[in-house]
Structure formats: C-alpha cells, structure tokens
Amino acid sequence: MNFHSLGLHQNIVNALTEKGYTAPTPIQQKAIPAILERKDVMAAAQTGTGKTAGFVLPMLQRLHNGTKVKNNHARALILVPTRELAAQVASSIKEYALHSPCSHTVVFGGVSINPQMLALRKGVDILVATPGRLLDLHSQNAVKFQNLEILVLDEADRMLDMGFIHDIKRVMKLLPNNRQNLLFSATFSDQIKALARELVNDPVEVSVTPANSTAEKVEQRVYPVDKTKKSALLSHIIKQEDMQQVLVFSRTKHGANRLAKQLTAKGLVAAAIHGNKSQGARTTALHNFKTGKVRILVATDIAARGLDIAQLPFVINYDLPHVSEDYVHRIGRTARAGASGKAISLVCQDEFKLLKDIERLTKQVITRQIIDGFDPKEGLPESKLDDRPIKPKKPKKPKRFK
C-alpha cells in the first residue's frame, strides 16, 4: 500500500516522497480514509506510530479546497498538552504542507503573546495550540472559531492526566457544533471514553497497539544499583556503550539540572530540559541534542512529551516514574517508525514497588543485569508478575497551562 492509494492528493504524496516516506504506517492506513470521509475518529496509538501524519495529511487535503479563512479565524484546531509537542506538530505540518496552500501557526505559553496575535491577524487554516494560551488569545479576540471545521485532541490521555479537562471543555464550548472531531490517545481509558462521549459523534474507532504495551523493538533492561552509585553507573554505561545520543529521564527538575552538570563535568556534554527552563532555552537544548552538539539530554516527563528525535538509539531512566504509564511514554521515545532502540532503567531498592507497578502494567518482567563493580549492597527483590486488573486512576485536579 502507498499514500496515493489512501486517497491523498498528489501534491501531498510528493511532499512525503521528498522526505523519504513511501509507505503508510498501520495507524495512517486506518485513520486517513476515515478522516477523508469526514467521519469522527477515536484513535489509540502510541508515540512513534506516525499518528501525527495520520491526522495532518487528510486535514491538509480537506482544507485544500474550501472557503478562504477570515481574519483572526482558524479552520482547524489541534490541541496538545505541552509546548514541545506543539512545536513538533507544527514542524511536521510544515514538512507535509510543502506543496499545499494551507497556512498554519503554533501558539503556546512561555513566550511573548504579541507575535502570536500578529500571526493570527490574517487568519490561519491550521492552528496548533496548548489550552491555556489558546484561551488567553480568545479572551483578547485574537482568535475566533465560528468557521472551525476540524478539531483534533492529540495525546488526550496526557491532557487529562495533567488536569486540563476544564480548559478542554471551555474550548469546546467556543466551537461550532457542526465540525469533525478527531481524538488521538495512547489508550482508551475510562476517562478518555467519558470525554469522547461529549466530543465525538458515531466515531470510527482505530487501534494499532494494545493498551499500555511497549514497542516490540525496544530492548529493555533493568540495572540494579545502590542509590549512591547511580550517577557513577550512568556515566559508566554511556562511556562503555559509546552512546553518542541518549535521552535520560529524571523525576525532578532539580535532579535534571544536577545530573546534567555532573555528566558535563565528567566530559559527557549534557543539557537539561524541564518546565522551569525558558522556552528559548528548551528549544536550544533540543536543537543542540538533535544536531549532536549535546550528547545527553536530561529531561523530566512533561518536558519530554512530544519530543520527536529520529533514530534515537538510547533512553535511560535515571529515576523510575511514579506513574507507570509514563514509563511506556518514556521508552517510546526510542524505536520509533520501525527502528530499534534500547531502554535502560537504573533501579535502587526503594524503587522496587515502582518497578513492580511498571511490570504489572506492561505485563512483563523486565530482564535484570548486574554491572561489574556496581553490585548493589541493598539487593533488589526478584519480581513476580502481578496479573490482577488495574483500577483506573483518578485524574488530577484541573489547572491552567499556558
């Protein structure tokens, strides 16, 4: 199967060919025809499956012909949870719209609102936005939705986890009822299904991966280690395996800063990316990482959401996440688009419960490996897979996010 056989216009296919994309992924094969038929879609797809193209490509085709956009209006809205994901989706649209007349822009907090207001003045075909900044722009009459044709909620599960449900509902009340709705989520949790009942009408349901499964081509390892030796083991692994590009996850912002400084002091050039960093600093760190100027990017979960780094070979969990689903999202940064990758977790004794929760969620016991010279004094208990059903978690209290 090729992209043309899905019903996409030749100018879109040409843009894909020029970028080296020749065959659609499973999520694209299922979602694109349904979106072109103007049906509402609920899609369960993990990161790295090509889901962004799954909704952007048919959107470009739908908007190619139609009413010219009015001043300060948007014809399509893509809502995302984080600034990084917003920037990444906008970058993808730029690639796919190479031969398309559709205009697009992106708005998020952490930067001046004035250039965004100017960008919206003449109207835009596709607007990518985080919820808080979008509501701010609307309150200042900088963006209007009377002529909106398509709404996309991307990574909807993450938006609910981060407490954006009230902002999402406020946005939905501003939109016309007669529109196409596309909901993309890593899982169809009970909370997502509840949101879908308010959002989509008789949707086509698309799912390409089991809920909370980890990518098949990710080789996963747990390295038991004492907490006091984690930093030394991290440096040892990076040097031993000659990792030239590795994404390291820290649980806290301060931990990310500290770890980046420790690694750089050992001759391993590292940068930290987290919510306390300015948007400019985050963009620079990511650019330097992608271009090889920075060898190691130390990130927190929220900052890393939406990072799309082609052929990223290694992900290391310096700290295990408190939320098991975040482990799936973390290691989903590698082994994207059919490539292989390696995910390593440095686990000390007091993280054993977190490890058990992850193994229960992913329905597998992760292989352990002791590194010579780093044998833990406080041994890590053996895992026994817990196959009891997992109760759905309660979403966090709502908060504003810009």
**Tens digit of each residue's pLDDT (9 = 90 or more) over 317-341:** 999 998 888 888 788 777 655 567 8
Q: Is the pLDDT of residue 182 over 70?
A: yes
Give the per-residue pLDDT at 176. 95
Tokens of 74: 């948007």
Encoded amino acid at 295, one letter: R
Q: C-alpha distances in angstroms, 51 versus 155, 183, 239?
A: 10, 11, 34
pLDDT tens string 339-365: 678 999 999 999 999 999 999 888 889
Give the per-residue pLDDT at 305. 63
Report the percent of the chain where pLDDT is more than 90: 56
CA separation for the pair 149, 392 (Å, rounded): 33
pLDDT tens string 22-80: 889 889 999 999 999 999 999 987 766 788 999 999 999 999 877 889 999 999 999 99
User: Is residue 190 within a helix (H) or strand (E), and if so which, with residue range?
Assistant: helix 190-199
Q: Is the pLDDT of residue 304 over 70?
A: no
Q: Is the pLDDT of residue 269 over 70?
A: yes
Q: How confident is the model at residue 390 (pLDDT cuts 50, 70, 90)?
A: low
Report the percent of the chain where pLDDT is more than 70: 90
Average the pLDDT over each of 54-63, 202-211, 376-385 and give the range with the smallest value: 202-211
The SS3 assignment for 241 reads coil
Q: Is the pLDDT of residue 171 over 80?
A: yes
CA separation for the pair 26, 229 (Å, rounded): 42
Give the per-residue pLDDT at 266. 94
Q: C-alpha distances in angstroms, 323 versus 83, 316, 355, 361, 398?
A: 21, 16, 11, 10, 18
Query: 125: which DSSP letter?
Result: E
Beta strand spans in 262-392 (E): 270-273, 296-299, 314-317, 341-347
Average the pLDDT over each of 60-64, 175-179, 195-199, 247-251 and give the range with the smallest value: 195-199
Mean pLDDT of 163-181: 93
Q: Is the pLDDT of residue 210 over 70?
A: no
pLDDT tens string 76-135: 999 999 888 898 899 999 999 999 999 999 999 989 999 999 999 999 999 999 999 999
With the CA atoms of 120, 122, 124 and 128 taken in that order, what torsion angle do they form, in degrees rounded to the nearest 10?
A: -10
Q: Is the pLDDT of residue 193 over 50?
A: yes
Q: Is the pLDDT of residue 370 over 60?
A: yes
Q: How confident is the model at residue 275 (pLDDT cuts 50, 70, 90)?
A: confident
Q: How confident is the model at residue 401 (pLDDT cuts 50, 70, 90)?
A: very low
CA separation for the pair 339, 341 (Å, rounded): 7
Q: How confident is the model at residue 310 (pLDDT cuts 50, 70, 90)?
A: low
| pTM (predicted TM-score) | 0.66
Give the per-residue pLDDT at 102. 93
Backbone φ and ψ for 330, nearest 5 degrees, come out as -60, -55
